[in-house]
Amino acid sequence: MHVFLAILRCVIAIVIAYLVVFVAALVNILFERRTLAFMTDRLGPNRTGWQGVLQSVADAFKMMGKEDFAPAQVDKVVFTLAPIMVMIGAVSIQLVIPYTKGWVGQDLNVGLIYIIAVTGFTVLSILIGGWASHNKYALVGALRAAAQMVSYEIPMILAVLVVAMTVGSLSLNAVVALQAGYKWLAFYMPFTLLIFYIASIAELNRGPFDLPEAESELVSGYNVEYSGMRFGMFFLNEYAGLTIMSMVVVTLFFGGWQGPWANALVIHRIALVPIVWFLIKTYVLVFLLVWVRLSLPRLQVDQLMGFAWKILIPLGLANIAVSGAILLWAPHWHLVMAIYSWVALLVFVGLFDIVLRWRLDRQRKKVAVLA
Amino acid sequence: MLGMFKAMKTTVGHLLTKKVTVQYPEQREQLPERSRGLFRVVIDPAGDDPRCRACTLCETNCPVQVIRVNYTSKYELPVPNEARIRETRLTMQPKPDLAQLQPVIDHYRETGTGMMAVLQNTQGLYGYLPRLALEEIAVQTGSSLSQLYGVASFYNQFRLSPVGKHVITVCHGTACHVAGAPLITAAFSEELGVGVGETTKDRLFTLEAVSCVGACALAPVVRIGEDETHGRMTPDKARKLVAELRQREGVT
Amino acid sequence: MSAAVDRAGAIHEALKQALRPEGVVAHEGALEMRICAGTACHASGRVAVRETIKEELAARGLADKVAVVETGCHGFCEQGPIVVIQPKGIFYPHVRPQDVAAIIEASVQADEVVEKLLYRDPATGQPLAHEAEIPFYKEQRRLVLSLNGKVDPYSIDDYLTRDGYSALAKVLGEDDPDEVIDLVERSGLRGRGGAGFPTGTKWRFTRRTAGERKYIICNADEGDPGAFMDRSVLEGNPHVVMEGMIIAAFAIGAQEGYVYVRAEYPFAVERLRAALGQARERGLLGTDILGSGWDFDIQINEGAGAFVCGEETALIASIEGKRGMPRTRPPYPAVSGLWGAPTNINNVETYANVPWIVHNGAEAFAAMGIDDSRGTKIFSLTGKVANGGLVEVAMGATLRHIIFTIGGGMLPGRTFKAVQLGGPSGGCLPAEMLDIGIDYEALMASGAIVGSGGLVVVDDTNCMVDLARFFLQFTQDESCGKCVPCRLGTKRMLETLERITEGEGREGDIELLEELSQYISDGTLCALGGTAPNPVLTTLRYFRDEYEAHINEKRCPAGRCKALITYYIDPETCTGCTLCAKKCPTGVISGEKKQAHVIDVSGCIKCDTCRQVCKFGAVKVRSGIDQAAAVAATGA
């Protein structure tokens, strides 16, 4: 009986996970299109269904109706495998994310590391997708994407390490528990949040870091040979990732499901109100992602890699060192950590422009001397 | 970083501004006053009283002359605006005899000379390139009308509107310019009352300026038609020449 | 070996057969009256002269003893209509129908000359009877123009009796195309159309490119205003050009040739067409040329009035029936040209040099000229010179020699200011540069170019800024519009120059012009745009003071730019004949009979009529807009 229940629970969990991913993807697509439209003085799709809610569904049907086409010389197994594999990351992360009090797939005690590890699946499937396409541009795009994602995983890990040090555990439930009573880590270590957030935008191939999939670069990158539902899979994964990554950020820095009236509605030991808070917080962050994507120009590939290796990683390492020192030796670590992190954030934001401008002037002077 | 924040502030500022989308077909765009569309003249809607009275005002005033009013009247009334219609139809192209064009097109098909030769021969036949002739060429040779217009409008030699009986060409080559060609052109222009490239109202004279006719030793040079070349012109001689030509035609 | 000798012999025999002695019009040593039938002489009224000559000869019963030959352009165009009596070579310029009787009596029936009708040397004032004595002809080295003025262009036999087409026979007989290319390379012949690219090298590239179909094009779209060399060669002796083309076609292996003549040259087209027909008849063109087994034919394509079609890729586009817009090079026409096939394009004059080189050898050609510029070049000398016309000299001749010795110096009463070389792509050189020898490299260093050979002499009544504006107006008008630097850059330069000539020049305009010139010449797709700034750059280099006068002092030193000059009547010289007042189109001249007249400057449109009609030279131009002073000067 227990075994049966356990298996049933697994199946339900998997179904929910996939449902969340797909629904989130569809919702995100519409959400993004509408938000981008509103911010650019347009209305966005508002005809299909009430205010356009069925637009994504219509797009999905369209994509499913397309011819399932694979070019003649592709590596057939891998070509089919890549889009199937790509969702694994998004789905698997949900295993450890607590949606509400008492409801988490499996409270792994290495939850944080698990999250980082599983995002690697996306990298892998992009790589093999680009390789299998038998197209040099797709391959170059895939390699670039992989390089980007791998490079930005490091600052992610560095930021997560700080969180882990603060919490003292790698379990996500512990992270959420620490943030009870509005003691959100976002208030105490905004600098770490910034590093993690920037790294996560790059992991998602979103916003200013969307070089691998930009239409004007490399003829649409790694998914150039994919069409119809195969492309649909990559596409949906990307948008699902928005939600999933925002969920991770919310869990780590914004208190997860915490919010007022947490115990108001409880069914079968699952509180329903915190889910609402969780979703609200997640979607605020999704909005932020969409907003950033609209406003900022794309980074060039050398700027992208340079930013990761020369700026984010050293800062992440310094951050770990200082945070670790504070956690070890500072009395009232909350206060000291907050002061340090806010100061670090302000200094970083302020100095960023100045340092870049100084470097540019120096370079220009060097060139002018040569000329 | 600060610049990025500024960018983000700008975009989010637009989140709640008025949107420019026009929800067609419930709403329609307000067209500007001078926008063009396809006009249809409502002559006789299924009602008792036909709206069009054949006053021909539309034909007279159409700047591109694409309206023709044809009507018959049971009364012997004079055509309204007759003089104005005649004047505006003056710049209209007379119907060319397309039978003459056929040998030109046949020659092109047989010898495969370039399209330029076809256009040059057509101009040789009619004095200019009538639109109907160009349409015929387009249909028969399989090139598009726009391509023909592209070639015709590129070269100075091709004329797309009829010319006067006498084409007065003033040479504006270097030697002629140095010898004072602009003054001569100005004199002609004043005397004839038209600008360069234009034809007089009585369709007798067209004034043109070309770059060099190759008779530089006789600068400044004026050529009438294809044959008559006058060298060592002065503005005074120019005026006399116009008077002479007018006399030849019996006009003052 | 003997088969080759036989073949050569057969070809020469075929050439001999092509000649029909009864078709020869101009005989050496016979008594003939040669009338120049070039465009300029035609415009001066040679038809009337010809008719009168025919009538007079018939009236005197000399119609069958004296031949009347209408030849091509003699080159001395300012002196038309020209009649030369052979065999002595007695030269009569400016012949009018009423002079014909006297000329025939004196020089044809008797052995005398009509002295008052002869040409007068402007330097000595002495009459010169014989063509060979006239400095204009004597100082020239006529290679390409050697038969101009001696043969009737409508008679192929005239050309054949003078060794015509024997170069072709020689080349076909030897049957070695590479040898021909070597010969042309060794001679140092460079493209005469303006760029000066070594012809032999171009032929070699075209020959080397693989391809079954190859084409030869002759660029007779002489667009440079002020240039008429190619026209005269085509009108005077089209066969020499055709022979050059056929030899070139043989050397590179072409099967079809095109001559792209501009439509503004009706005589050239007519004569060329007749010449082609005749050549085909005699087996010199078409299938199995002279029995060699090789086919080649030539077609005429007429231009339609676009200067840019003188540029090789635009020309190719025009022949293909498209808009004449250049395309990027490489690939050069030698690799991919007309219809994508390897094409060789050369200028008329370049081809015309080829038969001479084949006859006389590469060394003889290379013996003329200096440095890397060998052989001769035809220049069309026009402007304010005494003897304008076509001048063929060896490369290396100085400008001073051409303008002052051959050209006879300036028109009476004018001072030399500058000479404009190479049309709208070239530059103006001042008096200090007159001793430069004509040489592609030397001229480029001085800022001008040899170009197609137009030489316009400009005197002190011509404004250099206005001249630069004129050229830029031409280039702007003719710009095809494909590339932004030319389309917009020349327009902006033109606007700036127009502002300057209208008195609205600003501080910084000169620097603007220089900067724009740099961008335009760097960025354009073809040489039209690339060389468009040259007139501006050279006038800025050598005549900067004029620009500064226009901009800073708002006056035109040469008295040309209408907005910057004032017309006034000198009260001392004016006799009050009222002629100017009658002719003034705006009626701003007032005055009583026998009283000094006055121009009302406010209404004056500066049409120059008054100055031209005044017989006393009382109407003068002052540079600078000075209404008050002008009014004060006339005492009104």
**C154: in domain:** no
Report pLDDT for C385.
87
CB contact under 8 A, A291 and B8: yes
Domain end: C114, C134, C154, which one? C134
Chains B and A physically touch (3 or more Cβ atom pairs below 8 Å): yes
pLDDT digits (tens, 9 = 90+) for A254-295: 998 888 887 888 887 788 889 999 999 999 999 999 999 999
Cβ–Cβ < 8 Å for C472, C497 = yes
How far is C-alpha C381 from the chain's CA centre?
8
Number of domains in chain C: 5
Using CB atoms, pick whichever of A41, A294, A350 lies closest to residue B17: A41
Q: Are residues C406 and C486 in the same domain?
A: no
Q: Which of A155, A160, A11, A175 is nearest to A109 (CA)?
A: A175
Report pLDDT for C636.
44
Q: Are residues C413 and C538 in the same domain?
A: no
What is the ipTM metric for this complex? 0.81
Q: Which of B89, B191, B93 is nearest to B134 (CA)?
A: B93
Q: Are residues C201 and C347 in the same domain?
A: yes
Nearest CA in chain B to A44: B21
What residues does C567 pair with on adjacent strands?
C621
Q: Are residues C178 and C308 in the same domain?
A: yes
Report pLDDT for C353.
93
Residue B77 clears pLDDT 70, i.e. is over it: no
pLDDT digits (tens, 9 = 90+) for A298-346: 888 888 999 999 999 999 999 999 999 999 998 888 899 999 999 999 9
Chains C and B physically touch (3 or more Cβ atom pairs below 8 Å): yes
Residue numbers of the domain that contains C214: 163-364
Q: Which of C498, C512, C504 is nearest to C540 (CA)?
A: C512
Q: Which of residues 542-601 of C touch B (CB under 8 A)?
A: 583, 585
CB contact under 8 A, C323 and B151: yes
Cβ–Cβ < 8 Å for A319, A344 = yes
Report how far residue C343's alpha carbon sits from residue C215's, in angstroms, rounded to the nearest whole number. Answer: 5
Residue C360 sits in a domain whose CATH number is 3.40.50.11540
Please give the C-alpha separations between residue C143 and each of B237, C41, C242, C275, C365, in angstroms, as whole numbers: 39, 22, 16, 20, 10
Residue C509 sits in a domain whose CATH number is 1.20.1440.230
**Backbone phi, then psi, for A85, in 5-degree steps?**
-70, -25
Report pLDDT for A24.
94
Residue C389 sits in a domain whose CATH number is 3.10.20.600
Q: Does residue B11 belong to the interface with chain A, where contact is any CB pair within 8 Å?
A: yes
DSSP collapsed to 3 states, C370-430: ECCEECEEEEEEEECECCCEEEEEECCCEHHHHHHHHCCCECCCCCEEEEEECHHHCEEEE
Q: Does residue B6 belong to the interface with chain A, where contact is any CB pair within 8 Å?
A: no
pLDDT digits (tens, 9 = 90+) for A178-237: 998 888 999 999 999 999 999 999 999 988 998 887 765 556 678 788 888 888 898 899
**C7: in domain:** no
User: Looking at per-residue confidence, does C425 or B144 come out higher?
Assistant: C425
Share of chain A above pLDDT 90, in %: 57
Q: Are residues C441 and C474 in the same domain?
A: no
Report pLDDT for C372.
86
Residue A168 clears pLDDT 80, i.e. is over it: yes
Report how far residue C450's alpha carbon sits from residue C193's, in angstroms, rounded to the nearest whole number. Answer: 9
Residue C45 sits in a domain whose CATH number is 3.40.30.10
Q: Which of B192, B176, B191 is nearest to B229 (CA)?
A: B176
Report pLDDT for B90.
54
In the numeric block, which tokens belong to residue B63?
A: 């700047």
Report pLDDT for A105.
81
**Backbone phi, then psi, for A284, in 5-degree steps?**
-60, -45
**Backbone phi, then psi, for C147, in 5-degree steps?**
-95, -5
Residue C572 sits in a domain whose CATH number is 3.30.70.20
**Chain A residues within 8 angstroms (CB to CB) of chain B:** 35, 37-43, 291-292, 294-296, 348-350, 352-353
Report how far residue B221's alpha carbon sits from residue B173's, in angstroms, rounded to the nearest whole number. Answer: 9
Domain end: C134, C155, C185, which one? C134
Q: Are residues C572 and C497 in the same domain?
A: no
Report how far residue C420's alpha carbon sits from residue C400's, in angstroms, rounded to the nearest whole number. Answer: 13
Q: Which residues of A touch B8 (CB under 8 A)?
A: 291-292, 295-296
User: Looking at per-residue confidence, does C353 or B84 come out higher?
Assistant: C353
CB contact under 8 A, B2 and A348: no
What mean pLDDT comes out for the span B192-220? 80
Neighbouring residues of A328: CB distance < 8 A, sequence distance ≥ 6 = none
For chain A, domain boundaries: 61-370
pTM: 0.65
**C171: in domain:** yes
Q: Report the 10 Å Cβ neighbour count for A363.
A: 10
**C9: in domain:** no
Residue B250: CA atoms inside 13 Å, Cβ hemisphere, count? Answer: 0
Cβ–Cβ < 8 Å for C226, B173 = yes
For residue C3, give how far its alpha carbon lies from the nearest alpha carbon of chain B (Å): 38
CB contact under 8 A, B236 and C380: no
Domains for chain B: give ranges and CATH numbers: 98-154 (no CATH), 166-249 (3.40.30.10)
Report pLDDT for B53.
74
**C147: in domain:** no
Using CB atoms, pick whichever of B11, B18, B19 lies closest to residue A295: B11
DSSP, collapsed to helix, strand or coil, labels residue C503 as coil
List strand residue ranges (DSSP E) for C477-618, in order: 565-569, 589-590, 598-599
Q: To the nearest whole number, what is the mean pLDDT of chain B?
A: 80
Share of chain A above pLDDT 70, in %: 98
Cβ–Cβ < 8 Å for C71, C148 = yes
Where does residue B85 rank: exposed (0-12), middle (13-18), buried (19+ CB within 10 A)? middle
Q: Report the 10 Å Cβ neighbour count for A9.
A: 11
Ranges under pLDDT 50 in chain C:
628-632, 635-636
Report pLDDT for A147.
93
Neighbouring residues of C163: CB distance < 8 A, sequence distance ≥ 6 = C359
Domain end: C459, C479, C507, which one? C459
DSSP, collapsed to helix, strand or coil, labels residue C580 as helix
**C97: in domain:** yes
CB contact under 8 A, B8 and A41: no
Q: Directed axis angle between helix A136-167 and helix A313-329, to 10°?
A: 10
- Give me the total of CB pairs closer than 8 Å, taking one residue from chain A and one from chain B: 47
Neighbouring residues of C528: CB distance < 8 A, sequence distance ≥ 6 = C307, C308, C311, C326, C425, C475, C478, C479, C480, C486
In the numeric block, which tokens belong to residue C172?
A: 């076909």
Measured over all CA atoms, what is the biggest interatomic distance in chain A, rounded to whole angstroms? 82
Neighbouring residues of C172: CB distance < 8 A, sequence distance ≥ 6 = C8, C11, C250, C289, C290, C292, C294
Using CB atoms, pick whichever of C265, C302, C613 lies closest to residue B214: C265
Cβ–Cβ < 8 Å for C285, C257 = no
For residue B61, give how far its alpha carbon lies from the nearest alpha carbon of chain C (Å): 33
In the numeric block, which tokens belong to residue C601?
A: 């400057």
Q: Which of residues 12-51 of B touch C (CB under 8 A)?
A: none
